[in-house]
A and B are shown apart, each in its own frame.
Chain A
Amino acid sequence: MDLGLSEEQEMLRSSALDFLKKECPKKLVKELDETEEGYSPELWRKIADLGWLGLPFPEEYGGGGTFLDLAVLLEVMGYNIVPGPFFSTVVLGGLLVLAAGSEEQKREWLPRISGGEKMLALALTEPDVSYEASAVKTTAVSRNGGYVINGTKLFVLDANVADLILCVARTKETSDPEDGVTIFLVDARSPGVGVTLLKTLARDKQCEVVFDNVAVPGENMLGRLDKGWPLVQGLLEKATVAKCAEMVGGAQAALDMAVAYAKERVQFNRPIGSFQAIQHYCANMVSDVDGSRFVTHKAAWKVSEGLPATMDVAVAKAWTSGAYGRVTLTAHQIFGAIGFTMDHDLHLYYRRAKAAEMMFGDGAYHRKVVARELGL
Chain B
Amino acid sequence: MDFRFTEQEEAFREEVDEFIRRELPAGWTEESLYWPGGYGAIPDFEEVRPAHERFRHRLAEKGWLAISWPEEYGGADRSHIEQAIFHERMSYHRATGPDVGTLIAGPTILRFGSEEMKRKWLPRIAHGDIRLWLAYSEPNAGSDLAAITSTAVEDGDDLVINGQKTWSSGAHVADYAWMAVRTDPSAPPHKGASLVIVDNRSEGMSIKPLINILGVHSFNEVFFDNVRVPRENVVGELNQGWYYLMAALDFERLVVSIGGLRRTLEELTGYVKSTLRGGRALSSDPLVRDRLASLAVEIEVAAMLFWQTAWMLDRGLIPNTEASVLKLVTTELSRKLANTAMDVIGPRAQLERGSTWAPLTGRVSTGYLDCISALVGAGTSEIQRNIVGMRGLGLPWPS
Which A positions have Cβ atoms within 8 angstroms of B?
A: 1-6, 9, 68, 259, 262-263, 270-271, 273-276, 278-280, 282-284, 286-287, 290-292, 294-295, 297-298, 301-302, 312, 314-315, 318-319, 364, 367-368, 370-371, 374-376
A283-B385 CB under 8 A given contacts A3-B1, A259-B393: yes
The stretch that binds A, out of B25-33, B57-65, B228-236, B303-311, is B303-311
Tell me whether B126 is interfacial, beta carbon within 8 Å. no
Q: How far is the CB of A267 from chain B (nearest CB, A)?
A: 12
A2 touching B296 in the complex, CB below 8 Å, given contacts A282-B389, A287-B329, A291-B305: no
Contact for A376 among B273, B382, B393, B396, CB less than 8 A: B273
Residue contacts A-B, CB under 8 angstroms, 14 given: A2-B1, A263-B394, A263-B396, A276-B382, A279-B386, A286-B321, A286-B392, A301-B1, A314-B297, A315-B300, A315-B301, A318-B293, A367-B294, A376-B293
Contact of B1 among A68, A283, A286, A287 (CB under 8 A): A68
Give B55-78 interface residues, CB cut-off 8 Å to A.
none
CB of B9 closer than 8 Å to a CB of A:
yes
Cβ–Cβ contact B395 & A374, under 8 A: no
Closest to A258 in B: B393
Q: A315 touching B297 by the CB < 8 A rule?
A: yes
Q: Is the pair A3, B311 in contact by a Cβ cutoff of 8 Å? A: yes
Complex contacts, A68 vs chain B, CB 8 Å:
1
Residue of B nearest to A256 (CB): B393
| Residue ID in chain B nearest A298 by CB atoms | B3
Query: How far apart sit A290 and B322, CA to CA, in the bound complex (Å)?
Result: 9
Instruction: Specify which chain A residues have a CB less than 8 angstroms from the CB of B385 in the assembled complex.
Output: 276, 279-280, 283-284
Indicate whether A364 sits within 8 Å of B290 (C-beta atoms), given known contacts A282-B389, A287-B328, A298-B304.
Answer: yes
Across the interface, do A294 and B304 meet the contact criterion of CB distance under 8 Å?
yes
Q: Is the beta-carbon distance between B395 and A262 smaller than 8 angstroms?
A: yes
Is the CB–CB distance between B388 and A287 below 8 Å? yes
Whether A276 lies near B386 (C-beta < 8 A) is yes
The answer to whether B292 and A282 have CB atoms under 8 Å apart is no
Contact A294 B308 (CB under 8 A): yes
Q: Could you tell me the distance in whole angstroms from the C-beta of B379 to the nearest C-beta in chain A?
A: 12
Name B's interface SS. Answer: helix
Residue of B at shortest CB range from A292?
Answer: B301
A291 B290 Cβ-Cβ under 8 A:
no
Query: B304 contacts A376, CB within 8 Å?
Result: no
Assembly CA distance A273 to B397 (angstroms): 8
Q: Which residues of B contact A (CB under 8 A)?
A: 1-6, 9, 81, 269, 272-273, 283, 288-290, 292-294, 296-298, 300-302, 304-305, 307-308, 311, 321-322, 324-325, 328-329, 382, 384-390, 392-399
Contact B293 A302 (CB under 8 A): no
The answer to whether B388 and A374 have CB atoms under 8 Å apart is: no
Q: How far is the CB of A74 from chain B (nearest CB, A)?
A: 15
Assembly CA distance A297 to B305 (angstroms): 12
Partner of B395, one of A6, A282, A297, A315: A282
Kindly list chain A residues whose C-beta atoms are within 8 Å of the C-beta of B301: 291-292, 294-295, 315, 319
Give chain B nearest CB distance to A289 CB in angstroms: 10
Q: With a CB–CB cut-off of 8 A, which chain A residues contact B325?
A: 283, 286-287, 290-291
A147 vs B283: C-alpha distance in the bound complex, in angstroms? Answer: 45
Decide: A280 and B1 in contact? CB cutoff 8 A: no
Q: Given A287-B329, A290-B325: A1 and B3 within 8 A (CB)?
A: yes
Partner of B398, one of A276, A301, A319, A375: A276
Q: What residues of chain A lie closer than 8 Å to B273, measured between beta carbons?
A: 375-376
Q: Which residues of B contact A314 (CB under 8 A)?
A: 297
Complex interface: chain B residues within 8 A of A271 (CB): 395-396
- Nearest chain B CB to A277's CB is how many angstroms away? 10
Name the one of A282, A295, A371 contacting B289, with C-beta atoms under 8 angstroms.
Answer: A371
Contact between chains at B329 and A270 (CB < 8 Å): no
Q: Write the chain A residue with the least CB distance to B5.
A: A1
A319 touches B1 (CB 8 A): no
Tell me whether A368 and B289 are in contact in the complex, defined as CB-CB below 8 angstroms, given that A280-B382, A290-B325, A291-B305 are known contacts. yes
Q: Which 5 A-B pairs have the closest CB atoms?
A: A279-B389, A294-B304, A283-B385, A283-B388, A367-B293
Tell me which of A3, A4, A9, A283 contacts B389 (CB under 8 A).
Answer: A283
A295 to B269, CA, bound (A): 22
Q: Is the CB of A318 within 8 A of B305?
A: no
Q: Are B329 and A273 interface neighbours, CB within 8 A?
A: no
Whether A297 lies near B390 (C-beta < 8 A) is no
B20 → A minimal CB distance (Å): 21
B3 touches A376 (CB 8 A): no
By the criterion CB–CB under 8 Å, are B304 and A374 in contact? no
Closest to B82 in A: A1
Contact A301 B289 (CB under 8 A): no
Q: Which residues of A contact B389 (CB under 8 A)?
A: 273, 276, 278-280, 282-283
CA distance A287 to B302 in the complex (A): 10
Contacting residues, chain A, for B272 (C-beta < 8 A): 376
A301 touches B3 (CB 8 A): yes
- Which of B289, B290, B301, B396 is the most central at the interface, judged by chain A CB atoms within 10 Å of its CB? B301
